[in-house]
Amino acid sequence: MPQGHDLSGQWDGTFAYPAKEGPATPFLATISQHDGRIAGTIIEPDLHSPGASAEAAIVGIVSAGAVDFTKTYLKASRGYANPVDYVGQLSDDGNRITGVWSLLHMNGTFEMTREAEAEIAEEREESVEIET
């Protein structure tokens, strides 16, 4: 069970719509964690305005590896007026979150990774192994 991981930092993610509802959409999340609460922003392509981005605020909680947050779009345009709920599970190494999102009558899956953190940890381990 993952414990003690701070989710603060940048996360690359993708959320997928149910079959035939829409494309898999990449996003970038910036998260700050204080105790068991998280807050931050998500930037993603605006599916209704090609070439534009949509920005959202996120707030939620983390407990015993479970991650639960709500995404609310800022300056919501057509199709972005309703908040989206995300529920996921943190990986044992603290660098991956997978789960489901739901919005009104629709739901789908999402995945977020913090690859830079994993690479930094691997580099530290390699450095320690070389020095010993």
In a domain, residue 3? The reply is: no
Domain ranges, residue 120? 9-131
Taking only the tens place, the pLDDT of each residue in 9-68 is: 999 999 998 877 777 899 999 999 999 999 999 999 988 888 889 999 999 999 999 999
1 occurs within a structural domain: no
Question: What total of structural domains would you count in the chain?
Answer: 1
Residues 6+ apart with CB under 8 A from 104: 82
120 phi/psi in degrees, rounded to 5:
-65, -45
Here the CATH number for the domain that contains residue 50 is 2.40.128.120
pLDDT in tens, 86-125: 999 999 999 999 999 999 888 999 999 997 554 555 555 5
As a whole number of angstroms, the distance between CA 59 and CA 37 comes to: 8
Position 87 in a domain:
yes
pLDDT tens, residue by residue, 53-82: 999 999 999 999 999 999 999 986 777 889
Confidence (pTM): 0.82
Integer distance in angstroms from the first to the last C-alpha of the chain?
A: 30
Does a structural domain hold residue 97?
A: yes
Residue 55 placed within a domain: yes
- Split at pLDDT 50, 70, 90, the class of 130 is low
